[in-house]
Amino acid sequence: MYDHKYHSEDLSKLNVLVTGGAGFIGSNIVEYLLKYKVNKVRVLDDFSNGHRENLSAFEQHPAFELMPGDIRDLDTCKAAMADMDYVSHQAALGSVPRSINDPATTNAVNISGFLNMMIALKDSKRVKRMVYAASSSTYGDSKALPKVEDNIGKPLSPYAVTKYVNELYAEVFGSTYNTDTIGLRYFNIFGPRQSPEGAYAAVIPLFMQALKDGIPPKINGDGEQTRDFTFVDNAVQANIRGLFASEAAKNQVFNIACGERISVNKLWDFLSEAAGKDLKPIYGASRQGDVRDSLADISKAETLLGYAPSFTVKEGLGVTWDSWVED
């Protein structure tokens, strides 16, 4: 855990629900809340995507509570929100390729599950706000750079559709039922606890594993596609600031990124340098549903959330590589 503090509120009387808390982003949020002495943090997770070991350091903590369960069940969502003051909703099925291969399950978790969370929020008498994980995939086929919240294109994958629908539901529930949400459009979050396992692993943990094993990595396309990679502590910051942001931020969405644009080839160069290894990548076909270039305008989050990235991409890669070496 890093030494940055992103709140001024007294957490000792607050209860916070983190859905998807066994995932790599969720578990980092849990760790932050426990570090700063939250009264209770409850994790709702079905472990279909997250990993129990991500929670192993916290399970004996007196303020930690684990509730195994699936957001596709409305009663589970309502039970998870009982006695909570705030919600950080991270539970979802990520991955563009996964959504292309299995759109039905992605829809069930990301849309039906999100709707259940919104209904539970609407019916809660205590929860003040829900901050939820949105996605930069919402920008779709828009080629405009940098990406600005109010200028999106057409979705390029079923996953992108699901995350856009989340935003629409949040907006409509806000205007209809006066619910209070904040959406965070994540841009390629990476960091410790991100798994390299499975068919849908993200590029950075795959690169890390390749370096650790001394095996050349595979790069989809020519490697000149660009991304705004964002270290996980920056995402934690956005979630914490979002929970306590002013009324001006209510029911809005925000880009959460570094505001840096680097190519996948340059990313590999950074990591190879950090690892002190010289492996030549193997290039394959471009991946269906992927955008070519991505760069976030983070000025709205800076203004309304007080967000300011604590780690550059290169700094975050160094921390992440060190954590892999330690493992």
pTM over 0.85: yes
Closest CA to 149 of 313, 292, 302, 310: 302
Q: How many domains does the chain have?
A: 1
CA distance 146 to 324: 32
Q: Is 6 among the catalytic positions? A: no
Nearest CA-CA partner of 270 in 209, 317, 222, 223: 317
Q: What integer pLDDT is reported at residue 202 of this predicted model? A: 83
Q: What is the mean pLDDT of residues 306-327?
A: 88
Q: Specify the pairing of strand 86-89 against strand 262-263.
A: unpaired
Measure the CA–CA gap between 172 and 59, rounded to whole angstroms: 37
Is residue 304 included in any domain, yes or no?
Answer: yes
Per-residue pLDDT band at 197 (split at 50, 70, 90): confident
Give the pLDDT band of residue 325 (cuts 50, 70, 90): confident
Candidates 6, 132, 159, 164; catalytic one: 159
What is the spatial distance between Cα 261 and Cα 67, in angstroms, rounded to a whole number?
38
Better-scored residue on pLDDT, 94 or 38: 38
What is the residue-averaged pLDDT of the chain?
Answer: 94
Residue 270 clears pLDDT 90, i.e. is over it: no
Residue 200 in this model has a pLDDT that exceeds 70? no
> Within a domain: residue 150?
yes
CA–CA distances in Å: residue 27 to residues 30, 31, 145, 190, 257: 5, 6, 31, 13, 19
Tell me whether residue 92 is in a domain: yes
- Condensed to tens digits (0 to 9), the pLDDT of residues 151-179 reads 999 999 999 999 999 999 999 999 999 99
Cα separation of 36 and 211, whole Å?
Answer: 35
pLDDT at 195: 80
d(CA 17, CA 134): 17
In a domain, 235, yes or no: yes
Three-class DSSP labels, 154-218: CCCCHHHHHHHHHHHHHHHHHHHHCCCEEEEEECCEECCCCCCCCCCCCHHHHHHHHHHHCCCCE
Q: Is residue 9 part of a domain?
A: no
- What average pLDDT score do residues 96-101 get? 90
The dihedral of CA 133, 201, 295, 302: what is its sign?
A: positive
User: Domain for residue 61, yes or no?
Assistant: yes
CATH of the domain at 169: 3.40.50.720
Q: What percent of the chain has pLDDT over 70?
A: 98
Q: Is residue 76 part of a domain?
A: yes
Instruction: Say whether pLDDT at 149 is over 60.
Output: yes
Residue pair 320/192 in contact by the 8 Å Cβ criterion:
yes
Expressed in percent and rounded to 5, the helix, strand and coil fractions of the chain are 40, 15, 40
On whether residue 132 sits in a domain, the answer given is yes
Residue 116's pLDDT band (boundaries 50, 70, 90)? very high
Which has more pLDDT, 251 or 203?
Answer: 251
Instruction: Determine the Cα–Cα distance for residues 59 and 314; give it in Å rounded to an integer.
Output: 32
What is the reported pLDDT for 144? 94
State which residues form the domain around 54: 15-190+231-259+294-310
Give the model's pLDDT for residue 199. 66
